[in-house]
Amino acid sequence: MKLAKWLLGPLAALGILAGCATSMTDIKGFNMISIEQEKELGNKFAVEIEKQQQPVNDPEVQRYVDKVGKRLLSGARAVEFDYVFKVVKDDSVNAFAIPGGRVYVHTGLLKAADNETELAGVLAHEINHAVARHGTRQMTQEYGYSLVLSLVLGDNPNMLAQLAGQLFGKAGMMSYSREYENQADFLGVETMYKAGYNPNGLTSFFQKLNAMDGGTQSNVARFFSTHPLTSERIQRVQAEIAKLPPQRYLTDETEFKKIKGRLK
Protein backbone atom coordinates (compact mmCIF):
# COMPACT_ATOMS: atom_id res chain seq x y z
CA MET A 1 0.00 0.00 0.00
CA LYS A 2 2.81 2.32 0.96
CA LEU A 3 4.69 1.43 -2.20
CA ALA A 4 1.60 1.87 -4.33
CA LYS A 5 1.05 5.33 -2.91
CA TRP A 6 4.69 6.21 -3.44
CA LEU A 7 4.34 5.15 -7.09
CA LEU A 8 1.06 6.90 -7.69
CA GLY A 9 2.41 10.42 -7.33
CA PRO A 10 5.06 10.28 -10.05
CA LEU A 11 2.81 8.18 -12.30
CA ALA A 12 -0.03 10.64 -11.96
CA ALA A 13 2.35 13.50 -12.69
CA LEU A 14 3.59 11.71 -15.81
CA GLY A 15 0.03 11.10 -16.91
CA ILE A 16 -0.86 14.76 -16.51
CA LEU A 17 2.24 15.85 -18.42
CA ALA A 18 1.57 13.38 -21.23
CA GLY A 19 -2.08 14.42 -21.35
CA CYS A 20 -1.10 18.06 -21.48
CA ALA A 21 1.40 17.56 -24.32
CA THR A 22 -1.17 15.60 -26.31
CA SER A 23 -3.98 18.10 -25.88
CA MET A 24 -1.74 20.99 -26.97
CA THR A 25 -1.02 19.36 -30.34
CA ASP A 26 -4.38 17.63 -30.74
CA ILE A 27 -6.27 19.68 -33.31
CA LYS A 28 -8.86 17.01 -34.02
CA GLY A 29 -10.90 17.41 -30.86
CA PHE A 30 -14.48 16.19 -30.78
CA ASN A 31 -16.65 18.30 -33.06
CA MET A 32 -20.17 17.47 -34.22
CA ILE A 33 -20.00 20.15 -36.92
CA SER A 34 -18.34 18.89 -40.12
CA ILE A 35 -15.69 20.84 -42.04
CA GLU A 36 -18.21 21.56 -44.81
CA GLN A 37 -20.78 22.78 -42.28
CA GLU A 38 -18.19 24.98 -40.61
CA LYS A 39 -17.27 26.53 -43.99
CA GLU A 40 -20.97 27.26 -44.56
CA LEU A 41 -21.31 28.82 -41.11
CA GLY A 42 -18.19 30.93 -41.73
CA ASN A 43 -19.61 32.24 -45.01
CA LYS A 44 -22.84 33.25 -43.29
CA PHE A 45 -21.06 34.88 -40.34
CA ALA A 46 -18.77 36.79 -42.72
CA VAL A 47 -21.75 38.42 -44.46
CA GLU A 48 -23.04 39.65 -41.09
CA ILE A 49 -19.64 40.73 -39.75
CA GLU A 50 -18.94 42.75 -42.89
CA LYS A 51 -22.28 44.55 -42.55
CA GLN A 52 -21.19 45.64 -39.08
CA GLN A 53 -17.48 46.28 -39.66
CA GLN A 54 -16.29 47.78 -42.90
CA PRO A 55 -13.39 46.01 -44.63
CA VAL A 56 -10.53 48.25 -45.80
CA ASN A 57 -10.85 48.54 -49.54
CA ASP A 58 -7.20 48.92 -50.50
CA PRO A 59 -5.68 46.27 -52.81
CA GLU A 60 -2.17 46.86 -51.41
CA VAL A 61 -3.28 46.31 -47.81
CA GLN A 62 -5.20 43.22 -48.94
CA ARG A 63 -2.26 41.80 -50.85
CA TYR A 64 -0.06 42.34 -47.81
CA VAL A 65 -2.27 40.56 -45.23
CA ASP A 66 -2.80 37.75 -47.75
CA LYS A 67 0.96 37.38 -48.04
CA VAL A 68 1.61 37.31 -44.29
CA GLY A 69 -1.35 34.94 -43.78
CA LYS A 70 -0.22 32.58 -46.55
CA ARG A 71 3.29 32.49 -45.18
CA LEU A 72 1.97 31.58 -41.73
CA LEU A 73 -0.30 28.88 -43.15
CA SER A 74 2.83 27.17 -44.54
CA GLY A 75 3.74 26.50 -40.89
CA ALA A 76 0.28 25.38 -39.71
CA ARG A 77 -0.50 21.78 -38.73
CA ALA A 78 -3.51 21.55 -41.04
CA VAL A 79 -5.14 23.78 -43.64
CA GLU A 80 -8.65 22.45 -44.05
CA PHE A 81 -10.35 25.74 -44.93
CA ASP A 82 -9.86 28.29 -47.68
CA TYR A 83 -8.41 30.93 -45.40
CA VAL A 84 -9.51 34.53 -45.87
CA PHE A 85 -7.74 37.48 -44.22
CA LYS A 86 -9.35 40.90 -43.99
CA VAL A 87 -8.50 44.22 -42.39
CA VAL A 88 -11.52 46.11 -41.00
CA LYS A 89 -11.74 49.83 -40.24
CA ASP A 90 -11.76 49.97 -36.47
CA ASP A 91 -9.25 51.79 -34.29
CA SER A 92 -9.58 49.49 -31.29
CA VAL A 93 -6.78 46.93 -30.95
CA ASN A 94 -8.31 43.61 -31.89
CA ALA A 95 -8.16 40.62 -34.20
CA PHE A 96 -10.47 37.65 -34.32
CA ALA A 97 -11.11 34.44 -36.20
CA ILE A 98 -14.60 33.27 -37.06
CA PRO A 99 -15.38 29.64 -37.88
CA GLY A 100 -14.30 28.33 -41.27
CA GLY A 101 -10.86 29.96 -41.50
CA ARG A 102 -11.71 33.64 -41.73
CA VAL A 103 -9.43 35.99 -39.86
CA TYR A 104 -10.13 39.69 -39.28
CA VAL A 105 -7.63 42.32 -38.16
CA HIS A 106 -8.60 45.79 -36.96
CA THR A 107 -6.71 48.78 -38.37
CA GLY A 108 -6.07 49.66 -34.70
CA LEU A 109 -4.05 46.47 -34.26
CA LEU A 110 -1.95 47.14 -37.36
CA LYS A 111 -1.24 50.61 -36.03
CA ALA A 112 -0.30 49.28 -32.58
CA ALA A 113 2.10 46.66 -33.96
CA ASP A 114 5.70 47.80 -34.40
CA ASN A 115 6.69 45.28 -37.02
CA GLU A 116 5.50 42.43 -39.22
CA THR A 117 6.66 39.88 -36.66
CA GLU A 118 4.24 41.25 -34.04
CA LEU A 119 1.40 41.24 -36.57
CA ALA A 120 2.35 37.66 -37.51
CA GLY A 121 2.20 36.70 -33.81
CA VAL A 122 -1.40 37.81 -33.47
CA LEU A 123 -2.37 36.25 -36.82
CA ALA A 124 -0.65 32.96 -35.89
CA HIS A 125 -2.65 32.82 -32.67
CA GLU A 126 -5.94 33.51 -34.50
CA ILE A 127 -5.14 31.07 -37.34
CA ASN A 128 -4.73 28.32 -34.76
CA HIS A 129 -8.11 29.02 -33.19
CA ALA A 130 -9.37 28.15 -36.70
CA VAL A 131 -6.97 25.22 -37.25
CA ALA A 132 -8.12 23.55 -34.01
CA ARG A 133 -11.72 24.61 -34.80
CA HIS A 134 -12.21 26.25 -31.41
CA GLY A 135 -15.10 28.43 -32.65
CA THR A 136 -17.49 25.62 -33.56
CA ARG A 137 -16.36 23.48 -30.63
CA GLN A 138 -16.98 26.27 -28.12
CA MET A 139 -20.28 27.29 -29.73
CA THR A 140 -21.55 23.71 -29.67
CA GLN A 141 -20.62 23.43 -25.99
CA GLU A 142 -22.28 26.73 -25.10
CA TYR A 143 -25.36 26.76 -27.31
CA GLY A 144 -25.87 23.09 -28.17
CA TYR A 145 -25.55 21.23 -31.44
CA SER A 146 -29.08 21.86 -32.69
CA LEU A 147 -28.77 25.63 -32.44
CA VAL A 148 -25.40 25.67 -34.24
CA LEU A 149 -26.82 23.36 -36.90
CA SER A 150 -29.83 25.65 -37.38
CA LEU A 151 -27.38 28.51 -38.02
CA VAL A 152 -25.50 26.39 -40.57
CA LEU A 153 -28.77 25.53 -42.33
CA GLY A 154 -29.90 29.16 -42.37
CA ASP A 155 -32.99 28.39 -40.28
CA ASN A 156 -32.29 31.11 -37.76
CA PRO A 157 -31.23 34.33 -39.56
CA ASN A 158 -31.97 36.69 -36.64
CA MET A 159 -29.94 34.62 -34.22
CA LEU A 160 -27.14 34.38 -36.80
CA ALA A 161 -26.95 38.16 -37.21
CA GLN A 162 -27.02 38.66 -33.45
CA LEU A 163 -24.37 36.05 -32.63
CA ALA A 164 -21.99 37.14 -35.41
CA GLY A 165 -21.58 40.57 -33.86
CA GLN A 166 -22.02 39.52 -30.28
CA LEU A 167 -19.46 36.71 -30.28
CA PHE A 168 -16.90 37.70 -32.88
CA GLY A 169 -17.47 41.14 -34.37
CA LYS A 170 -18.44 44.44 -32.80
CA ALA A 171 -19.02 43.22 -29.25
CA GLY A 172 -16.44 40.42 -29.42
CA MET A 173 -17.78 38.53 -26.43
CA MET A 174 -16.56 35.12 -27.53
CA SER A 175 -14.48 33.88 -24.67
CA TYR A 176 -12.57 30.72 -25.31
CA SER A 177 -11.63 28.40 -22.48
CA ARG A 178 -8.16 28.83 -21.02
CA GLU A 179 -7.29 25.49 -22.60
CA TYR A 180 -8.17 26.83 -26.07
CA GLU A 181 -6.22 30.06 -25.50
CA ASN A 182 -3.18 28.11 -24.38
CA GLN A 183 -3.45 25.81 -27.38
CA ALA A 184 -3.71 28.76 -29.80
CA ASP A 185 -0.58 30.24 -28.17
CA PHE A 186 1.30 26.92 -28.25
CA LEU A 187 0.46 26.22 -31.88
CA GLY A 188 0.94 29.90 -32.75
CA VAL A 189 4.56 29.70 -31.60
CA GLU A 190 5.10 26.55 -33.66
CA THR A 191 3.42 28.06 -36.74
CA MET A 192 5.56 31.20 -36.54
CA TYR A 193 8.77 29.24 -36.10
CA LYS A 194 8.02 26.93 -39.04
CA ALA A 195 7.06 29.90 -41.23
CA GLY A 196 10.31 31.71 -40.43
CA TYR A 197 8.91 34.35 -38.08
CA ASN A 198 10.51 34.98 -34.72
CA PRO A 199 7.93 33.69 -32.19
CA ASN A 200 9.04 36.38 -29.75
CA GLY A 201 6.79 38.66 -31.82
CA LEU A 202 3.81 37.10 -30.05
CA THR A 203 5.07 37.79 -26.53
CA SER A 204 6.45 41.22 -27.35
CA PHE A 205 3.04 42.30 -28.64
CA PHE A 206 1.25 40.83 -25.62
CA GLN A 207 3.63 42.65 -23.29
CA LYS A 208 3.14 45.88 -25.17
CA LEU A 209 -0.64 45.63 -24.76
CA ASN A 210 -0.25 44.89 -21.07
CA ALA A 211 2.00 47.91 -20.65
CA MET A 212 -0.36 50.17 -22.61
CA ASP A 213 -3.06 50.19 -19.99
CA GLY A 214 -3.26 46.88 -18.23
CA GLY A 215 -6.20 45.89 -20.33
CA THR A 216 -8.72 48.11 -18.63
CA GLN A 217 -9.15 50.93 -21.12
CA SER A 218 -11.55 50.71 -24.01
CA ASN A 219 -9.05 50.80 -26.84
CA VAL A 220 -7.50 47.45 -26.08
CA ALA A 221 -10.18 46.09 -23.76
CA ARG A 222 -11.78 43.96 -26.40
CA PHE A 223 -8.64 42.04 -27.17
CA PHE A 224 -8.16 41.44 -23.45
CA SER A 225 -11.72 40.30 -22.93
CA THR A 226 -11.39 37.63 -25.61
CA HIS A 227 -7.73 36.82 -24.97
CA PRO A 228 -6.83 37.54 -21.32
CA LEU A 229 -3.10 38.20 -21.10
CA THR A 230 -2.02 37.02 -17.69
CA SER A 231 1.65 36.99 -16.75
CA GLU A 232 1.37 33.22 -16.35
CA ARG A 233 0.23 33.00 -19.96
CA ILE A 234 3.11 35.13 -21.23
CA GLN A 235 5.61 33.09 -19.20
CA ARG A 236 4.19 29.87 -20.59
CA VAL A 237 4.70 31.12 -24.16
CA GLN A 238 8.24 32.29 -23.35
CA ALA A 239 9.06 28.85 -21.95
CA GLU A 240 7.88 27.22 -25.20
CA ILE A 241 9.98 29.61 -27.28
CA ALA A 242 13.06 28.87 -25.16
CA LYS A 243 12.86 25.21 -26.21
CA LEU A 244 13.25 26.01 -29.93
CA PRO A 245 16.64 25.65 -31.66
CA PRO A 246 17.94 29.01 -32.96
CA GLN A 247 17.32 29.79 -36.62
CA ARG A 248 17.37 32.79 -38.94
CA TYR A 249 14.12 34.73 -38.95
CA LEU A 250 12.53 37.17 -41.35
CA THR A 251 13.62 40.70 -40.54
CA ASP A 252 12.63 42.77 -43.59
CA GLU A 253 10.20 45.44 -42.40
CA THR A 254 10.03 47.74 -45.45
CA GLU A 255 6.65 46.45 -46.60
CA PHE A 256 5.12 46.60 -43.13
CA LYS A 257 6.12 50.25 -42.79
CA LYS A 258 4.67 51.05 -46.21
CA ILE A 259 1.34 49.40 -45.34
CA LYS A 260 1.16 51.16 -41.99
CA GLY A 261 1.72 54.43 -43.80
CA ARG A 262 -1.26 53.72 -46.06
CA LEU A 263 -3.56 53.33 -43.07
CA LYS A 264 -2.86 56.83 -41.75
Binding site for Zn ion (CB under 5 A): 181, 184, 227
Distance from the Cα of residue 51 to its chain's centroid: 22
Q: How far is the CB of 157 from Zn ion (least distance, A)?
A: 27
In angstroms, give the least distance from the CB of 241 to Zn ion: 17
Tell me the H-state helices in 74-199: 107-112, 116-131, 134-143, 145-152, 157-163, 178-195
Judged by beta carbon, residue 61 or residue 85, the one nearer Zn ion is 85
Which residue, 116 or 181, has its beta carbon nearer to Zn ion?
A: 181
- In order of 169, 195, 208, 224, the CA distances from 241 in angstroms are 31, 14, 18, 22
106 labeled binding residue: no
Of 38 and 181, the one with the shorter C-beta distance to Zn ion is 181
Q: What burial letters (b/e) apply to 187-201, b meaning 16+ CB within 10 Å? A: bbbbbbbbbebbbbb
Residue nearer to Zn ion on the CB measure, 150 or 225: 225
Least Å distance, CB 126 to Zn ion, is: 7
Q: Is 129 annotated as a binding residue?
A: yes
CA distance 84 to 94: 17
134 is in an annotated binding site: no
Instruction: Kindly state the smallest distance separating residue 226's Cβ from Zn ion, in Å.
Output: 6
Point out the residue whose Cβ comes nearest to Zn ion. 227
Q: Kindly tell me which of 24 and 149 has the beta carbon lying closer to Zn ion.
A: 24
C-beta of 115: minimal distance to Zn ion in Å?
21
Phi, psi dihedrals of residue 85, rounded to the nearest 5°: -115, 130
* Full DSSP string of 22-68: HHHH------SS-HHHHHHHHHHHHHHHHHHSPBP--HHHHHHHHHH
CB 55 within 8 A of CB 108: no
User: Which residue ranges are tagged as binding site?
Assistant: 125, 129, 181, 227
User: Which residue ranges are tagged as binding site for Zn(2+)?
Assistant: 125, 129, 181, 227
